[in-house]
Amino acid sequence: MKTFSKTIRIPFLLLVLLSWAATVRPALAQDLEALLARMTIEEKVGQMTQLTLQAVSETKGEPGVPHEIDHDALREALVDRHIGSLLNVYDMARTEAEWHALMADIDDLTRNESRLGIPILYGIDAVHGNNYLAEATIFPQNIGLAATWNTDLVAQAARITAQETRAVGLNWNFAPVLDVARTPLWSRFFETFGEDTYATAVFGAAAVRAMQEPGPSGYPAVAATGKHFLGYSMPLSGKDRTPAWIPERMLRDIFLPPFQAAMDAGLMTVMVNSAEMNGIPVHADRYVLTDLLRDELGFEGIAVTDWEDIGKLVDLHRVAANYKEAVFQSVDAGIDMAMVPYDYGFTDALIELVEEGRITETRIDESVLRILRVKKSLGLFDTSSPSPTAHIHIGSDASNAASLQAARESMTLLKNTGVLPLGKEESVLAAGPALGNVPMMYGSWSYTWQGTDPDAYPEGIQTLDKELASRMNGRLAVAPWGEFHEPDRLRAMAYAADVAVLALGEVPSVEKPGDIESLELPEDQMALVRDVAESGARVVVVLFQNRPRIIRAIEPYADAIVLAYLPGPYGAQAVVDVLDGTVNPGGHLPFTYPRFTGSLVPYDHKPSETSDILYGTDAFQPQYRFGHGLSYTEFTYSDLRVDASQFAADGTLRVEVTLTNTGDRAGRDVAHVFVQDHVASISPAVRRLRAFSAVDLDPGEETRLRWTLTRDDLRFIGHDMRAVYEPGVFSIHVDALTETIELP
Ligand code: BGC
């Protein structure tokens, strides 16, 4: 996209001529096969190369040093080395004007100076809003979006993110994460839609559809990326990028369906899992990247590596003796583009491999065609059309209202003995590390990679202490964290207050820097809760978290617990809305909140996991169950019916239940429909989510909810590794109601 920013150095008239030339040239590119036929091997391999912006910059990302492009290096990359893609912005968000200036430079070089004028894909991790754009609308992280169970809202967040990404010229979003979070230890838990496969598939596909839906020009705003293909999210050690051991049955049952759903929704690209699975680094795994991805799933889009991962086949995974061998292994396995990201090592090695005949040019052509096809689908060759997001106002009031709505809907009331909503006269003590802490509300991928630098955030973000102060009309005392953790002083302050709001949190972290040694909440935060509770004040705990930290020891001291996840810029407002009752909380857990670090068991575990010597047949004792979430009103489920009369004819099963708001205020509940297979040739899970609805009801209002399940919802991965249906007895569970039926 061109803008006439002051950083453009080419005289205006020349620019006009060059733009005209650029609109003529793409006519040649309409036929991608013909374009491919004109390309040299250097041009083809260049398309398969992705460099980080840092590789073509004067400054290398030192904090506080303004970014400067190295124009010679950029020209070398785009014109001499024909690279097909750039990514990232090395750890520093940029303004809209800076992005436009950068994109104008890139556009001029690729379209007007490179031999074939092939535009580039520019990839960015816009994972909760375009978080590397200073003015962008930022949303809660995915784990909070999932807690809303509002698929339309998930889609709206993805749509706004995509539009605000393309609006500055970026056309490839490395999102959504489609990994199913099967270990709460994992540092990327918050980037997921939770522990359930079905929910991840529904939310992931909705996000992909929204990101890639055609704009007014007929082209999508961005290409979405399903990441990380495949088996990334259950490292055995719980630590990022450590080995996963996932049997094929589990891979197909738990981890594959969200990718399948996203592909059915038109997913254009996938990013490869950086770690090893079953002993094979996925970047070198032909079974995963070709047999499964291409031959079985029929995926036609781009498979891009993750960061530096070809090199890691040599120095980390040790399956390749040298870099050239690693390039051979990964291209042979099936990758299309290497996120190299600093140099031309991949490019040079791949050219040599083609010259030596180890990689055929036909194999290269497959990848290049996939890359060109994505570029064409995005309208990048069509410079005569307006940008798909020409009409977008970045950070508009409406977009920010959607972020506030998402933060509010995500708030999950885990416990309430009646202290919430707070009384209008009650005096409040506020304390805890998350109180005045902006990064703790946002989590990582916020203006910087780790999101820890408070100076990188926009000014004026409302923190919880300020929000409480503005709404508690002189009834608030604040005990700042750090300066103030003297138990005696704290107890005295707590003694004087009716209620203490304790904002607990986790310093943002992600990927390797986010590895932890224990899931327990840090001891100083637990001590805070105990000290305050012992003073007699009633305690409201508010949790801002990357992942569910164990709170068993302090839970009995808390009169109420609000899980805020990582709610983003409107977190403080959304939390206080719940505390004072402005908003009736309606969020529900998209994961099982564990009670013990040694019992990290998901809700859809096997029957044998619910019995042990200590607890008899009910050994599954999470702190809070999957789907849990309280409200200030009461909901009652009744009259669950399962109609199987059509099942033999068309494989459908109709499920109905009545949901009534029996309390005295309007509220939202989420109805989850679980299926239990009583006997199967592969030991069945105790239950599996197969449908859900988030429902708003006024006091006294009731509604009849209806879902249609199909035979596919009853299938599991059988002995032959295919999805199989076996007749027999099934139960359908909604809330505490159960209907059991025998199906032919
Ligand atoms: C992460 C990816 C991300 C990529 C590009 C990697 O370290 O694993 O999720 O898209 O960096 O920033």
Ligand 1 site: residues with CB under 6 angstroms? 88, 125, 174, 227, 271, 274, 306-307, 511
Sequence spans of domains, the chain: 14-377, 404-579, 633-743
Q: Do the Cβ atoms of 584 and 209 come closer than 8 Å? A: no
Asked whether the CA dihedral 119, 124, 126, 130 is positive or negative, the reply is negative
Q: Cα separation of 573 and 171, whole Å?
A: 32
The ligand 1 atom nearest the CA atom of 274: 8
Structural element, H or E, at residue 155? helix 151-166
Q: What is the pLDDT of residue 660?
A: 98
The ligand 1 atom nearest the CA atom of 177: 9
Mean pLDDT in residue range 377-394? 84
* Token pair of 256 as six digits: 């594959």
Q: Cα separation of 437 and 464, whole Å?
A: 8
Which residue among 306, 445, 448, 510 has the greatest number of ligand 1 atoms within 8 angstroms of its CB, and so is best to mutate?
A: 306
The ligand 1 atom nearest the CA atom of 339: 5
Q: What is the pLDDT of residue 63?
A: 63
The ligand 1 atom nearest the CA atom of 228: 9
Q: What is the pLDDT of residue 484?
A: 54
Between 70 and 612, the higher pLDDT residue: 70
Q: What is the pLDDT of residue 20?
A: 36
Q: Whose CA is nearest to atom 7 of ligand 1?
A: 307
- In the predicted structure, residue 131 carries a pLDDT above the cut 80: yes
Q: What is the pLDDT of residues 236-262, one digit of tens each?
A: 999 999 999 999 999 999 999 999 999
- Residue at token pair 């707590």: 494
Mean pLDDT in residue range 622-630? 98
Alpha helix ranges (H) inside 334-437: 345-355, 361-377, 397-410
Between 1 and 326, the higher pLDDT residue: 326
Q: Which residues contact 178 (CB under 8 A, 6 or more apart)?
A: 200, 204, 226, 227, 258, 259, 262
Query: What distance lies between CA 214 and its chain's CA centroid?
Result: 22
CA of 308 to the centre of ligand 1 (A): 10
- In the predicted structure, residue 3 carries a pLDDT above the cut 80: no
* Token pair of 463 as six digits: 């923190």
- In the predicted structure, residue 389 carries a pLDDT above the cut 80: no
The three-state secondary structure class of 134 is coil
> Sorting pLDDT into bands at 50, 70 and 90, what band is 483?
low
> Sorting pLDDT into bands at 50, 70 and 90, what band is 217?
confident
> Sorting pLDDT into bands at 50, 70 and 90, what band is 488?
confident
- In the predicted structure, residue 485 carries a pLDDT above the cut 70: no
Name the fold adopted by 404-579: Rossmann fold (3.40.50)
Provide the phi-psi class of 61: left if phi over 0, else alpha when psi is between -120 and 50, else beta.
Answer: left
> Sorting pLDDT into bands at 50, 70 and 90, what band is 22?
very low
Structural element, H or E, at residue 431? strand 428-431
Q: Whose CA is nearest to atom 8 of ligand 1?
A: 306
For residue 433, cis peptide bond before it (omega within 30 degrees of 0):
no
DSSP string, 265-321: TT--EEEE-SSEETTEEGGG-HIIIIIIIIIIT---SEEE--TTHHHHHHHTS---S
- In the predicted structure, residue 290 carries a pLDDT above the cut 80: yes
Q: What is the pLDDT of residue 480?
A: 83
Q: What is the pLDDT of residue 570?
A: 98
- In the predicted structure, residue 384 carries a pLDDT above the cut 80: no
188: closest CA among 515, 455, 413, 499? 515
Mean pLDDT in residue range 269-294? 98
Q: Which residues contact 188 (CB under 8 A, 6 or more apart)?
A: 177, 179, 181, 232, 233, 240, 510, 511, 514
CA of 307 to the centre of ligand 1 (A): 6
3-state secondary structure 630-675: ECCCCEEEEEEEEECCCHHHHCEEEEEEEEEECCCCCEEEEEEEEE
Which residue among 271, 316, 515 has the greatest number of ligand 1 atoms within 8 angstroms of its CB, and so is best to mutate?
A: 271
Positions marked catalytic: 306
SS3 content of the chain, % helix, strand, coil (to 5): 35, 20, 45
Q: What is the pLDDT of residues 143-180, one digit of tens each?
A: 999 999 999 999 999 999 999 999 999 999 999 999 99
CA of 87 to the centre of ligand 1 (A): 10
CA of 724 to the centre of ligand 1 (A): 35
Q: What is the pLDDT of residues 344-375, one digit of tens each?
A: 999 999 999 999 999 999 999 999 999 999 99
Q: Cα separation of 449 and 64, whole Å?
A: 15
- In the predicted structure, residue 28 carries a pLDDT above the cut 80: no
Q: Cα separation of 377 and 375, whole Å?
A: 6
- In the predicted structure, residue 24 carries a pLDDT above the cut 60: no
The ligand 1 atom nearest the CA atom of 123: 5
- In the predicted structure, residue 674 carries a pLDDT above the cut 80: yes
φ, ψ (nearest 5 deg) of residue 66: -60, 145
Q: What is the pLDDT of residue 387?
A: 74
Instruction: Answer yes or no: CATH 3.20.20.300 is held by domain 14-377.
Output: yes
What is the pLDDT of the chain when averaged over all its residues?
93
Q: Whose CA is nearest to atom 6 of ligand 1?
A: 307
> Sorting pLDDT into bands at 50, 70 and 90, what band is 2?
very low
- In the predicted structure, residue 16 carries a pLDDT above the cut 60: no
Burial of 360 (0-12, 13-18, 19+ CB in 10 A): exposed
Structural element, H or E, at residue 87? strand 85-87
Mean pLDDT in residue range 324-333? 98
CA of 46 to the centre of ligand 1 (A): 21
Name the fold adopted by 633-743: Immunoglobulin-like (2.60.40)
Q: What is the pLDDT of residues 558-594, one digit of tens each?
A: 999 999 999 999 999 999 999 999 999 999 999 999 9
Which residue among 174, 269, 448 has the greatest number of ligand 1 atoms within 8 angstroms of its CB, and so is best to mutate?
A: 174
Structural element, H or E, at residue 103? helix 96-107
CA of 565 to the centre of ligand 1 (A): 21
Q: What is the pLDDT of residue 613?
A: 72
